[in-house]
């Protein structure tokens, strides 16, 4: 019980340095500063967005793009990674292309995606999905290549159908790799979502952040960055808890 309480308090304790920094900033900061306004001015900075009913829709657009992008990246990465890892010849043939695509920075995809799809939500999804797919794809590929031959031969010996082999043997064996990939891909997907919105100014929290930066609204910029940080913390917490919960269930523990 004590160990569980300690683990549960770790994220809160990790925020103490940030809280201390904000307190010091508030005490020594100058509200008239054009670069470092104190935290007390940040709420006033984002108040115009709240009054104009723009903040919540922007957060909703960013959250929707993030959730859909991560879901598509998870499904695509798991399927492609499993198929590639199942055949060494296919793996050797596709590895150079996969490594080339993995090395492409997300920002470089924005002009091409905008040219083909325009400044739309679909364009944001494409740019988010491609980079977020790689952590899941690579972990699934490695996990599939290292599966025990005995584990793969057992369902054939028992005469299980392809569907039952996939759902009862392969999926549970690869689930930890998928969860690990999602844990890496989730923060990446959120960062890329904000980046695309800042660059393209398509509706979202990043677009509001880019507009505030262009208008030299320092307090609003810091307020929006705080909201983005809270979203990132929530995403990391949810993904970590989900991974822990699934892992415990797979081990048969409470």
pLDDT tens, residue by residue, 93-105: 888 888 777 777 8
pLDDT at 254: 41
Which CATH superfamily hosts domain 52-251?
MetI-like (1.10.3720.10)
Q: Is 144 helix (H, G, I), strand (E, B) or coil?
A: helix
pLDDT at 8: 45
Tokens of 148: 């025990």
pLDDT at 19: 86
Tell me the average pLDDT of the chain: 85
Q: Could you state, in order of their start, the residue ranges of all structural domains in the chain?
A: 52-251
Tokens of 172: 């549970």
pLDDT at 201: 85
pLDDT tens, residue by residue, 41-71: 999 999 999 999 999 999 999 999 999 999 9
Given 3-state DSSP classes, what are the helix, strand and coil percentages for the chain, each rounded to the nearest 5?
85, 0, 15
Q: Is-contact 187 165, C-beta < 8 A? A: no
Q: Is 53 helix (H, G, I), strand (E, B) or coil?
A: coil
For residues 127 and 150, what is the distance between their CA atoms, to the nearest angstrom? 40
pLDDT at 253: 46
């Amino acid at each position: 019980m004590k160990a569980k309480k300690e683990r549960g308090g770790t994220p809160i304790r990790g925020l103490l340095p940030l809280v201390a920094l904000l307190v010091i900033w508030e005490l020594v900061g100058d509200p008239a500063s054009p670069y470092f306004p104190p935290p007390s001015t940040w709420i006033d900075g984002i108040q115009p967005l709240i009054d104009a009913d723009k903040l919540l829709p922007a957060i909703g657009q960013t959250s929707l793009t993030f959730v859909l992008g991560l879901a598509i990246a998870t499904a695509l990465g798991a399927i492609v990674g499993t198929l590639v890892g199942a055949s060494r010849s296919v793996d050797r043939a596709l590895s150079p292309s996969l490594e080339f695509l993995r090395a492409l920075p997300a920002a470089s995809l924005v002009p091409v995606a905008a040219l083909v799809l325009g400044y739309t939500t679909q364009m944001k999804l494409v740019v988010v999905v491609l980079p977020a797919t790689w952590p899941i794809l690579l972990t699934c590929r490695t996990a599939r290549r290292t599966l025990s031959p005995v584990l793969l031969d057992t369902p054939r010996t028992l005469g299980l159908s392809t569907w039952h082999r996939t759902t009862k043997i392969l999926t549970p064996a690869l689930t930890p790799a998928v969860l690990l990939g999602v844990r890496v891909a989730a923060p990446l997907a959120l960062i890329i979502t904000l980046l695309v919105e800042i660059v393209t100014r398509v509706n979202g929290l990043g677009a509001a952040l880019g507009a505030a930066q262009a208008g030299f609204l320092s307090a609003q910029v810091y307020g929006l960055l705080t909201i983005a940080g809270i979203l990132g913390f929530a995403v990391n917490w949810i993904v970590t808890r989900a991974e822990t919960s699934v892992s415990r269930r797979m081990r048969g523990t409470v």
